[in-house]
Amino acid sequence: MNFSTTRPRNRATILADINAAQPAVAGTLTSKTRTLKNGQTATYYQVQRWDKAKKRNITTHVPQDKVEQVRAAIEQHRRFEALALELAQADIAGILDNTPRPQQQDLKKKRCAESPSTRGKSARPSAARSTRLNKTARA
């Protein structure tokens, strides 16, 4: 994953680019070359994509006159995925920038003032008392 140190684009700009997108097709355009009976070769095109619901590869024939449209739609889908990743990075940057950060002096541990009655005594309850409390909590 590529994390850059530069500030991501504005969320509204990315969403405008996504909104202006042309039709997108997920998959890969492949070609098959066949030798015909008369000795000539013919090239057939198909789109292959993974169907998550059916858990299998789906292959669809693409007519020769639609190859360029499908190729452009596949490229548009790649661009859409890149925009979605860019949007996610902009969103996380926006969330982290809007999160209030504690001041440096708040991070230091504050000492509590000792009162005369607690001087020299342990802040922990005695072992017998803590054992008694544990037994009553289990019951």
In a domain, 134, yes or no: no
| Residue 6 pLDDT | 61
Percent of the chain predicted with pLDDT > 70: 64
The answer as to whether 135 is a domain residue is no
Residue 28: predicted pLDDT: 93
Beta bridge partners of 28: 48
Q: Is residue 56 part of a domain?
A: yes
Place of tokens 């596949």: 74
pLDDT of residue 1: 47
Question: Looking at the 3D structure of the chain, how many domains does it have?
Answer: 1
Pairing mode, strands 56-62 and 28-35 = unpaired
Residue 74 lies in a domain: yes
pLDDT greater than 50 at residue 113: yes
**What is the residue range of 77's domain?**
11-98
Can you spell out the DSSP letters for 86-139? HHHHHHHHHHHHHSPPPPHHHHSPPPPPPPTTTTTS-SSPPHHHHHHHHHHHH-
Of 39, 21, 29, the closest CA to residue 63 belongs to: 29
- pTM: predicted TM-score of the whole model, two decimal places: 0.57
Residue 66 to residue 89: CA distance in whole angstroms: 35
Is 90 within a domain?
A: yes
Does 113 map to a domain?
A: no
User: Could you tell me if residue 34 is inside a domain?
Assistant: yes
Confirm whether 109 is domain-assigned: no
pLDDT of residue 18: 85
Instruction: Write out pLDDT tens, residues 75-111.
Output: 999 999 999 999 888 888 888 876 655 554 455 555 6
